[in-house]
Every structure is written in structure tokens, then in C-alpha cells.
Structure 1
Amino acid sequence: MSGSSVIMESPLCLIKNSEDGKLSVNPEAINILTRISQPVVVVSIVGLYRTGKSYLMNKLAGAKKGFNLGYNVQSETKGIWMWCIPHPTKANHVLVLLDTEGLGDVEKGDKKNDIRIFSLAVLLSSALVYNSMGTINQDAMDKLKLVGEIAELIKVKSQDNDDEEAEFSLHFPIFIWAVRDFHLKLTVDGKPVTEDEYLENALKLRHKEKSIKDEDYNRLRKRLCMYFKSRKCFVFDQPSSEKEDLQNMDNISESQLQPEFLEQTKRFCDYIFQEAEVKKMIGAINVTGRQLGHLAQSYTEAIMTHNTACMEDVAHTLSDIENKAAVQEAVQHYESRMKESIVFPTDTLNQFLELSRQCENEALQKFLKRSFKDTEYKYQTEFMGLVQQKKEEFCKMNEAKSREICEALIKKHSEEHEEALAKALYSIPGGHEKFKQDIKAIKDKYHMEPGKGVQAEIVLQEYLTSKGPLEITILKSDEALTEKQKEQEEEKAKEKVQEMEQKRQELEESQKKQNWQDMNTTLQENITGLVNKLNEENKLIRTEIRRVIEDKERERDSYEKQGFRRQANMYQAQIDDYTEKEKQLENPVWYKPIKETFKRVAADVLPILIEVGGNILKSEAIGAYNSLML
């Protein structure tokens, strides 16, 4: 399972539930999730056992069989079972269906077991389906008391927070109540209502809390409204009037089921496919299958070890794992792309740097795509440093190959010249002129050779400079020259040596400057890439906060209409808090820490830049550093 294909022919247990109530993840299921790199839409279903949960999940999977329907009175699904399929309507997304162990299993007889299963379903899903039978009455509400108890197991932040429960709505899934075998008319006070209005009416509070029972009645409804920002209701007729059909649902044809039930099931599935979003973490990070596996493991271990699961702590742990992997993956991408693309030696340094920058940008995008919550940007700094090391290695290889070719060419074209030197053929009258002509011929032949690479002129200048002393020796012994001519030629030869040495130094300085400018461009591109990424995440968080504000405004208005002023005021306080958060995120000051971090990076790099570029680049390096201070 990789790339764009997901192949699971049947469900697999994701979280095992042993007979003694201990939950543990199934390594085989985690291995499947690890190979899913696409974003996942996670739909969990919870509810009492023997209420037909598995049938709905099979319909979402587009299959008649899969999750065990089990028609006897025992709960068939133990723990949480997973089925991953390509999303029916979202390209390059995976739909992960989680069928949970039936709540209220008399064989378990453990209330903690139900709370743990329910909490994990909430933590892992982007859409939570609560499945019940009959009607939404007080009995159905009583069976949903787990909602009020998950606050004991779930924390948003590691530090104590008085408004902890108010933040659940920013992180919890959408809530869908599926009422099975519904036999009443959809009316309230004799007036027709929609399914959603039916649910919201059931969530209205009692005006006066005269007893503990009244307080419990209201408390559960308050929490349902507070925790789940989006709520939806579907009612289903009985699938068939025949008892045998109900006991054989995975084998009978759809023609044997009630048309109304089939239509209701289709609307339910269509809604899930359309409205259930990608599972998100920290408000903005799309969760992949790989990350979902980490979440399942971390949350399960946290609940079993500490009896509580902290979203912030799990996010920190996962971010370290993902950021380390992001660095490794991105650096490996740069290295492999360079090996695939580069042909040593490149004609020019600029050609090498352009190719390297292209590979760096690809690697940067890979890093930014996978990394998240890199609070101090230490992983991006590590990424930059490792890529720079790899680039320097490739640069040295490029220079070495160029030098190897150039030295071989000079050796080839100077063989006759070297032989003449060995035989002292220039120690004759007119030998100096012959020497200069042969050197020029070597230069001309060398210049005509293609593919010499970035060291072409430097190697040539080194060779010509090395011949300076020999030229002076030869001209001094050339009897065809007068003493005055010898003095003049010697002066020219010394000037030429100085010019060649200066040219060689200028070539090296020019290459150092190009390298420095490229390093500076890389630093700027990393800043730009990070700011763009955080801008996108910031935008997503603001959108989510705006959605939460609108939902809380709806709840506030509802409580005001019902006359619950204190409850309405509480929601208004929450709205004010979220509005302030929204304003803070709209202020560009939010990304100031990024610049502060990269200032430190630049401060570390500055001495290297000066060393690489030489003192003539000192003012330019300092200028670039100062520009980051703005």
C-alpha cells in the first residue's frame, strides 16, 4: 500500500482489547498506516453493541461484508477495527473507517473500558458517528453520558487550563447522531421538523435545575453542545419487517430492504463523503496515514499508562519524529537528485549552482511539506546545514573532476614543449621567442578543448604562472637578445606572471563570491518558504477559529432564546477569547520569531561567509545580515 493506491480487502484490528481490559495497538495495522502518505479522512462509529454500527461502516466502504455484523446477543467487535480505502470523492485521499467495540458490553462490565474506547474514537476521528436505537429520549441521552466523562481522559494542553473543555470544539470531530429503527413522526409540539431540528430540540436545557437529576440532565446537553462544533442527525427506518432479513443483512440483496431505509443510508453516506474533512492536528496540520498510526499508538499508550491523553504532548512527540524524518528525507532527496542530474564537470560554476538550487528548492518543499511544529526552527536550520555540506561535497567533486580533465589536457598539449625543455632546445639564439610561441600554441589548443569545467582558467593560469621563472631563465641565456632587450623582456615576463597570479586570484574570488551569493539566496529562500507555509497554516487556523466562533454564536443565541442568560454569557466569553486569538493571528507580528531565529542562523553563518568570500565581501555579508534585522 503506497502512492495513490490503498488495498485492504477487509478490516483489521487497530487497537486490541484484551480480556483484562488492556488496550494495545496492533503492529500489523500500524504498518499499513505507515505506508499511507496521503491525508486521511477518519470516520469512527460508537454506540451500544447490537445497534447495527458495522452495517453503516460497511456501506461507507461500499461493501456488503467487511466489518463483522454479528447477529447474536454477544458483542462481536472487540477494541477498534480499521478499514482503509481510497476516498470515494476526494482524489488522493484515504478514507479510514474505525468500527469500535460496542459500549455497555456486559461481558466487560467495566465502565473505564467504555470511556477509553469512546475517547480514542474522539481523538482519532474527523467525524464521529453515534449510533443508537429507537428515539432520542432521556434513555438514549443517559447512554451517552460518556461524553461528559471524556474530559477526565482528554486534555488539550499539558498545563492546567480552566477553559480546557471550551477548547475541545477546536479539536474534536464533527458529531453525527444516527438513530436506527426510528418509528415516530418527525414532529415537535405537533409541527414537522427536520432531523437536525429534532436533535437540537432534544439538546434543549431544562429551565430550572431543582435537583441533581436536573443538573445531570442539563450538564450532558451543555457538554455535547460545547464539545462538538458541528452536529448532524440522521434517522433510519427499520431495514426490513422480516426478522430473518434483519439477522442476515450481509447476505440479502438490497431489493429485500425497505426503499426508505436505502435512501436514508445513501443520504448518510453522501453526507459523510462530502462533509467529513481530513483529520487535522493542532488546528491546521493535515494528518496522513503514517501520522495517524503514531497518534493511535501515542494516545493508546498515554491512556493506558497515565489514564489521560494530552493532545499537546502527543503533538510534540509526533513533531519530533516527523521533523527528524523530514530532515532525512529532504537531504536524501537533494543528494539523489544531484546524483541523477549532474554531469561532472559542469561548464560553469553558475550552471552548478543553478542545478543545486533547483534540487535544494525541491528538497526544501519536501521538508516544509512534512515538518510541523518546528518551534525553534532547529530542524530547518539542521536541514539547511546538511544540504550545505552536501552541496560543498558536490562542489568539490565538480572542481576535482574539472581539475583532473584540465591537467590531463595541459599535459597532452604540452608534451612536445616539456620534451623541448628536457633537451634544452630553447637554449639557443631565438629560443625565448620559440618558447613564447609554444606556450601560446598550448594555450590555443587548450582553449579549443570543450568540457573543461569550472577550473579551466584557474588550472591554466597556474600552469602559465609556473612557467614564468623558466621563461626568465631562457631569455637571459638567449644570445639573440641584447642586454637591454633582455631587461625589457624580463620586466614583461615578471609583469605577466603578476597579471596571471592576479587573474587567478580574481577568478577564485569571483567563484567565492558566487558561492556566497548562492548561500545568501538559499537563506532567503528558506525564510520565504517557511513564512509562506506558516501563512497558509495561519490562514487555516483562522478559518477554523472563525468556524468555531460562528458555532458558539449559534449556541449563545440559542441559550438566549431559551432564557439561559448565564449560559449565553459563558459562550460570549468564549467568543471574545477566540475573537482575540483571531485578531492576534491577523497581525503580521505573529511571524516575528521566524526572523529572530534566522537572525541567529545568519549570525552563525556570517563568519563563514566572510571566510569563504574574503574580506572584500565583508561589507556585503554584513549588509545581508543587517537586512534580516528589519
Structure 2
Amino acid sequence: MSNGPPPMPAPVCLIENTDQGLQTVESSLNLLRSIQQPVVVVAVVGLYRTGKSYLMNRLAQQQSGFALGSTIESKTKGIWMWCVSHPYSPGHTLVLLDTEGLGDVDKGDSKNDAWIFCLAVLLSSTMVYNSRGTIDNQAIEKLHYVTELTDQIQVKSAGASKQDDEEFPEDSEFVRFFPGFVWAVRDFTLERKIDGRDVSEDDYLDFALQLKKGLNPKVVTYNLPRQCIRSFFPTRKCFTFPFPTAANNMTHLDSMAEADLDPDFLKVADRFCTYIFAESRVKTVQGGHKVTGSRFSHLVKIYVETINSGKVPCLENAVVAMAEIENQSAVNEGFRLYVQGMENLKKNFPVDLEPLSAEHQRLSALATQEFLKRSFKDTEGKYMTQLQEKVAKLYDQLINDNMDASEKQCRNLLFDLYAQMAANIQQGIYSKPGGYEIYCRDRDAMVAKYRQHDKKGMKGEEMLEGFLQERSAEANSIMKADEKLTEADKQMAEAREQAAVQEQQAKVAAQRQEDLQRALEDEKHSQEERLRRMEEKMEEEKRLQREELERALESKLKERQEMMEKGFRDKAEIMSQEIEQLKREKEKEKEADPGFLKKYLVPAAEIGKEVLSTFLQYKMLTRL
């Protein structure tokens, strides 16, 4: 698939963890910029030396790649990336992120761990938390980073409306933008039983995340990480992996054949991969906009730079910044396609206005299509207008260049065809009785040859009109000197000469009017098609936003139901208010945006005003 991931024999470092802080790797960002497909981003986080990298190699469908290591030393530093074609979704790229192990004693910087965890949440569409043993209170306490997200992630910009902030804090909106949550429990040896009955892995996770009733400090501390996981992540899934092999073989896991691994471990690993491939959604950002590899590169850079600046990453600001970069890139790419196509036509100048206009319409539509494919959140049409202005300006210049080429071509052609008549004049062929008749016959033959020439371009008839006017005095001189003609004949011949010039002038004017009308009709149809595509784009963006709200609403409804069943009516009541807020937003999204409609969905003739200037210049140059 074109614009998919380039061949990557091994992972590359995306974000380095240096003494100066987190730093993006430019070569890895360039790799992402080349990917125009939507990306499904899976990040794995967890304590160091818990086997995170092995799971990522399985997802890449490779035995090795991400460093596994065989000692107590953490092998993965920073965040490493592997881009592969999605095995289940053609035209999509699977981006795997293996993060630096949390709790590495060599780092001694818990804040660094928190930012690694935060980046995994911000960048992924599915986040896998990898741990060993069981999901007990100690394991959940080690996931304390999730409780810090409210201090490390901001949904709205500082200047956004605070209308509902007191009643609905920002962290209540995290579920709209956070990834799906998967807990992978490694080296699990217990029976999954609750009250003596066998339970599923998901039931086991839900049981571990149950809240306690009460408001004393111990209960609040106990509930906090559990409540965050339940409230922030739209989906939860659990997999419990048995030991893959005997303890003395664990250090050779990446080189062992599957036949040497425990069959039960392989079954869980296969189920894990199948779930990730089938259920992980395309990465989206605020507003439901799908993220391509190129857009993802901007997200990575924006978030890391924000963290390094000491500020809190803001989802809204990141989307705005990413949109500005991507929309400008979309303008440039659309314009590049237009320039490339018109340059090919320019090699054939001069051409008539009809093929020039037709190619302009085709390439303008192609440029618009490419722009709309790459752009998003261009709510005020700023970048679409920029593209149209660049195209119109170049088209103006191309019309001028084409007319210059046509004028030069026609002048040379007329000079070559007239050469024999000029020689006849010098030799006196027309300076004798009956010479005017010979002159008219030669001139008519020359004009016929000129008109038969198929590469005169836009100014063919106009240049002929000018030529005939220039030769008018010459014809009158020969006619008046012709002794064979009577005075009456000369008067009739002079009238014919004037009529011929007027006929040519009328023909030129009619041709110009016809060309202009055709070009304007073409431009009208082009504008109508452009508006149709823009309307479709607007509807698609509104649909994505509705889907985003639907997912959040579904998650909140499910969580409220669980709270009601467990007797947490106060929490259920808070969630009911959040649900009502989501429903109100959903209703707003159903309404049309009159500002957008008034700005763009107006009659095509009005939108084409900038094109009229092109043809006004054409009229002036052709002295219409």
C-alpha cells in the first residue's frame, strides 16, 4: 500500500531519555512523516524487567527485535518504535511503542517515570500495562502513575471556556481521549477463583478494581488508583500469562523456538495478539480526528517539547498545533500536485484556452482532493482559501505565459507565411494591371494556410486581425495603383477590405466571449464540486466527533451501572451528571453549523470571484 510504513528490520528509538531530559529522534520522526496511512498505536508500560519487550515482538510477529535483556538491568531506554503493516486492517499501519521500564533503580527519578507513563497514555490508542504475579493491592499501588495524570494532562487550553469546570472537572473528560487499557499479568500461577467459582480474566481484573465504601484516608488512598483506571480508560481488558518456560530458560526467551515454550502460555499470547489486532482502534485526537503517521510525528514532537518546557501537555493545544502544521503541509502538497501537472502542460504551450481551462479544472480538483485528504479542523477555511489563492495566482501567470507563447508562435508563423508575398512586392509582381487580384489571391491563400496551422494558441485570431490591419494600407496602395480597375471597382474593393477587417474583428470578439463563457462555466462547476467535497469533509468530521462522544457515553453508562450495582450511589449520581453533559454535547453536534454553511455553502458564482480577476486580466491584455 502506498504511503505505508517503510521496511523496518528492527525497532528504532523514537524518544531518547538523556541527561538533558526527553529528546525526540529526528530520523524516527522523518520515518513517521512518510506514513500517510491511519495508525493504530499500541504502547506497553510497566515495571522494568517484567517482559514487556517480548509482548511487543509478538505483536510485530517477530521473534526478536525489541531488546529483552537477561539481567536485572533495564534494556529499553526512552521509547522505542516499530512500524509494521497492520495484519488485520489493510491500508493501516501498526505502530508499536516499547517504553522504558518504570521503577528502574539506576534512574532514581520518579518524575521521569511519570512522564514516560504520561506519554504512553497521550500517544497510544491501546495501552498495555505489563506486570508480574497477581493483581493485588501492591501491584495496583505500583500503578500510582495513573493517579498523577490529572496533574500532567490538560484537556482544554487555558483560555477555554470554564463554564462547566466547577461541576465537571477536566479529568471527567479523559475517557473521551484516553486509550483502551489492557493489563497483562505475567507469570500468573494462581487459580482464577472468586468465592469458590471460576471467573474470567476480565472478571478477575474487575474484582481487583472494586472500590471500598467509606471516606477515611486509608479507603480514599485504596480507591484512588482503582477509580482512576475505571474512570479514565474507555475499555478494560485482562490477560493472565503462565510462565512461558522453566525459570532457568527465561534468559533465552527471545531465541527459543515456540515448540519449547509452554503451550498454555502460547495460547494466551495468541489470544492477546488477536485481541490487540482486532480491537485496537485507530489513534484519534480531540474531535475524533484520525491520526496518520505524519500527524503522529507532530504529536510526539509537540508533547515532548511541552514537557521539556516545564508546561503541562494540553490535548486541545496539541490538536490545534498539529492541525496548523498538517494543514500547511496539505496546502503545500495540493499545490505541488497542481504545479507538477501544469508544468507538464506548459511544455506544450501555446494551447487553446479550452484545454488550458480543462487541465486547470482537473488539477485544481486534484489539489483540493489531496488537501482535504490530509487536512483537518480547517473550520474557518483559512488553509483551503490559501490553496485556492495560490492556484489562482499561478493560473493567472500561466494564462499570461500561454498568451506570450501564442503571440510569439503566431508572429513567427505569419512572418514565415508572408515572406513570399513580401518578396513579390519587392519584385513588383503586384505593381501592374491585375496585380491587386493576384495580391488578394495570395493573401487569401496565406490566411488559409495560417488557419490550417493547429498550434497557434489563444491569440491565433487576434494576431491575424492585427496582421490584416497592418496590411490594410498595403492592400489599398496596390488596389489604387492597379490600372485595370475602374473607380467603381476600386470603391467596391475598398468596401470589401473594410468589411473583411470588421468581420475578423467580430470573429475575434465572438471567440473571446465564447472562451470566457466556457472557462467561467468550467470554474463554476469546479467550485460546485469543491463545495460538495468540503461539505462531505465537514460531515465526516462531525460524524467522527459524534462517535467520540458515543464511545465516552457508552463507557460512562457502563461504569454508572456498576457503581449502582455495588451500592456507590453517590459516585453513580456524579456519573449521571457527566452522562447528561455528554448527551447535551451530542445534541449540539447534531445541529448544523450555520457559520460554516454561510461562509462556504454560498452560490458558486460568488465563491469564484477570485477567478474572475484572472479573466479580467485576460480581457485587458486582449483589449476586449
1:507 corresponding residue in structure 2: 511
Q: Kindly state the Cα deviation for residue 158 of structure 1 after the two structures are TM-superposed.
A: 0.7
Q: Kindly state the Cα deviation for residue 346 of structure 1 after the two structures are TM-superposed.
A: 6.4
Distance, in Å, in 2 between the alignment partners of 1:535 and 1:49 is: 45
| Aligned partner (choices 325, 331, 355) of residue 329 of structure 2 | 325
1:113 corresponding residue in structure 2: 112
Q: Is the 8 A contact 2:288 2:547 kept in 1?
A: no
Distance, in Å, in 2 between the alignment partners of 1:613 and 1:578 is: 55
Q: Is the 8 A contact 1:281 1:287 kept in 2?
A: yes
Change (3 A) 1:613 1:599: farther
> What pairs with 1:607-622 in structure 2 (closer than 5 Å)?
608=613, 611-612=616-617
Q: Is the 8 A contact 1:584 1:590 kept in 2?
A: no
Q: Is the 8 A contact 1:346 1:352 kept in 2?
A: no
Secondary structure class of the residue paired with 1:185: coil
2:223 corresponding residue in structure 1: 218
Work out whether 1:377 is the aligned partner of 2:381.
yes
Of residues 315-324 and 2-11 in structure 1, the stretch that sits farther from structure 2 once superposed is 2-11
Q: CA RMSD in A?
A: 2.7
Distance, in Å, in 2 between the alignment partners of 1:593 and 1:134 is: 55
Distance, in Å, in 2 between the alignment partners of 1:346 and 1:420 is: 31
**Post-superposition CA distance 1:296-347 (Å, at most 9, x none):** 1211111121241112222222222222222222212111123335652466
Distance, in Å, in 2 between the alignment partners of 1:341 and 1:490 is: 44
Distance, in Å, in 1 between the alignment partners of 2:204 and 2:473 is: 102
Q: Is the 8 A contact 1:461 1:503 kept in 2?
A: no
Distance, in Å, in 1 between the alignment partners of 2:473 and 2:286 is: 71
Of residues 556-565 and 165-174 in structure 1, the stretch that sits farther from structure 2 once superposed is 556-565
Which residue identity is paired with 1:172? Answer: F
Q: Is the 8 A contact 1:46 1:103 kept in 2?
A: yes
1:550 corresponding residue in structure 2: 554
Work out whether 1:167 is the aligned partner of 2:173.
yes
> What pairs with 1:137-216 in structure 2 (closer than 5 Å)?
137-159=136-158, 161=162, 162=165, 163-206=169-212, 208-216=213-221
Change (3 A) 1:370 1:606: closer
Which residue identity is paired with 1:419? Answer: A
**Post-superposition CA distance 1:229-287 (Å, at most 9, x none):** 111111111222x2211232122222222111110001001111111122222343332
Residue-pair matches, total: 611
Work out whether 1:229 is the aligned partner of 2:234.
yes
Calculate the TM-score normalised by the size of structure 1.
0.90
Q: Kindly state the Cα deviation for residue 479 of structure 1 after the two structures are TM-superposed.
A: 3.2
Which residue identity is paired with 1:56? Answer: L
**Post-superposition CA distance 1:469-496 (Å, at most 9, x none):** 3333333343333333433332332233
Distance, in Å, in 1 between the alignment partners of 2:361 and 2:483 is: 58
Secondary structure class of the residue paired with 1:548: helix
Q: Is the 8 A contact 1:399 1:454 kept in 2?
A: yes
**Post-superposition CA distance 1:125-173 (Å, at most 9, x none):** 1110011222222222211121121111111211365232122122111
Which residue identity is paired with 1:80? Answer: I
1:459 corresponding residue in structure 2: 463
2:577 corresponding residue in structure 1: 573
Change (3 A) 1:4 1:16: closer
Q: Kindly state the Cα deviation for residue 93 of structure 1 after the two structures are TM-superposed.
A: 2.6
Q: Is the 8 A contact 1:6 1:94 kept in 2?
A: no
Q: Kindly state the Cα deviation for residue 48 of structure 1 after the two structures are TM-superposed.
A: 1.3
**Post-superposition CA distance 1:180-208 (Å, at most 9, x none):** 122222233333322222222322322x3
Distance, in Å, in 2 between the alignment partners of 1:193 and 1:518 is: 67
Of residues 32-41 and 220-229 in structure 1, the stretch that sits farther from structure 2 once superposed is 32-41
Q: Kindly state the Cα deviation for residue 500 of structure 1 after the two structures are TM-superposed.
A: 1.9
Of residues 474-483 and 78-87 in structure 1, the stretch that sits farther from structure 2 once superposed is 474-483
2:123 corresponding residue in structure 1: 124
Change (3 A) 1:193 1:232: same
| Aligned partner (choices 508, 516, 529) of residue 533 of structure 2 | 529
Secondary structure class of the residue paired with 1:95: strand
Q: Percent identity?
A: 38
Change (3 A) 1:448 1:30: closer
Distance, in Å, in 2 between the alignment partners of 1:409 and 1:494 is: 24
| Aligned partner (choices 412, 415, 422) of residue 408 of structure 1 | 412
| Aligned partner (choices 466, 480, 487) of residue 491 of structure 2 | 487
| Aligned partner (choices 363, 368, 379) of residue 364 of structure 1 | 368
Distance, in Å, in 1 between the alignment partners of 2:360 and 2:608 is: 24
Change (3 A) 1:229 1:186: same
Q: Kindly state the Cα deviation for residue 67 of structure 1 after the two structures are TM-superposed.
A: 1.8
Query: Which ranges in structure 1 are unaligned for 5 or more consecutive residues?
Result: 616-630
**Post-superposition CA distance 1:527-586 (Å, at most 9, x none):** 222222222222222222222212221112222222222322322222222222222322
Distance, in Å, in 2 between the alignment partners of 1:128 and 1:591 is: 39
Q: Is the 8 A contact 1:151 1:165 kept in 2?
A: yes
Q: Is the 8 A contact 1:531 1:591 kept in 2?
A: no
Distance, in Å, in 2 between the alignment partners of 1:19 and 1:487 is: 100
Distance, in Å, in 1 between the alignment partners of 2:483 and 2:14 is: 96
Q: Is the 8 A contact 1:126 1:276 kept in 2?
A: yes
Secondary structure class of the residue paired with 1:475: helix
| Aligned partner (choices 333, 336, 339) of residue 340 of structure 2 | 336
| Aligned partner (choices 243, 248, 263) of residue 244 of structure 1 | 248
Work out whether 1:10 is the aligned partner of 2:15.
no
Secondary structure class of the residue paired with 1:155: coil
Distance, in Å, in 2 between the alignment partners of 1:298 and 1:510 is: 53
Calculate the TM-score normalised by the size of structure 2.
0.91
> What pairs with 1:343-362 in structure 2 (closer than 5 Å)?
344-345=348-349, 348-362=352-366
2:28 corresponding residue in structure 1: 29
Which residue identity is paired with 1:195? Answer: E
Q: Kindly state the Cα deviation for residue 227 of structure 1 after the two structures are TM-superposed.
A: 1.2
Distance, in Å, in 1 between the alignment partners of 2:101 and 2:594 is: 46
| Aligned partner (choices 425, 428, 438) of residue 432 of structure 2 | 428
Query: Which ranges in structure 2 are unaligned for 5 or more consecutive residues?
Result: none
Q: Is the 8 A contact 1:127 1:173 kept in 2?
A: yes
1:72 corresponding residue in structure 2: 71
Which residue identity is paired with 1:249? Answer: L
Q: Kindly state the Cα deviation for residue 2 of structure 1 after the two structures are TM-superposed.
A: 8.3
Distance, in Å, in 1 between the alignment partners of 2:513 and 2:423 is: 35
2:394 corresponding residue in structure 1: 390
Q: Is the 8 A contact 1:37 1:289 kept in 2?
A: yes
**Post-superposition CA distance 1:428-477 (Å, at most 9, x none):** 33333333222221122223333333333332233223333333333334
Secondary structure class of the residue paired with 2:593: helix
Q: Is the 8 A contact 1:2 1:35 kept in 2?
A: no
Distance, in Å, in 2 between the alignment partners of 1:523 and 1:612 is: 20
Distance, in Å, in 2 between the alignment partners of 1:10 and 1:504 is: 67
> What pairs with 1:260-339 in structure 2 (closer than 5 Å)?
260-339=264-343
Q: Is the 8 A contact 1:153 1:303 kept in 2?
A: no
Distance, in Å, in 2 between the alignment partners of 1:7 and 1:609 is: 46
Change (3 A) 1:2 1:110: farther
2:97 corresponding residue in structure 1: 98
Q: Is the 8 A contact 1:512 1:612 kept in 2?
A: no
Distance, in Å, in 1 between the alignment partners of 2:195 and 2:571 is: 25
Secondary structure class of the residue paired with 1:15: strand
Distance, in Å, in 1 between the alignment partners of 2:204 and 2:149 is: 25
Q: Kindly state the Cα deviation for residue 70 of structure 1 after the two structures are TM-superposed.
A: 2.2
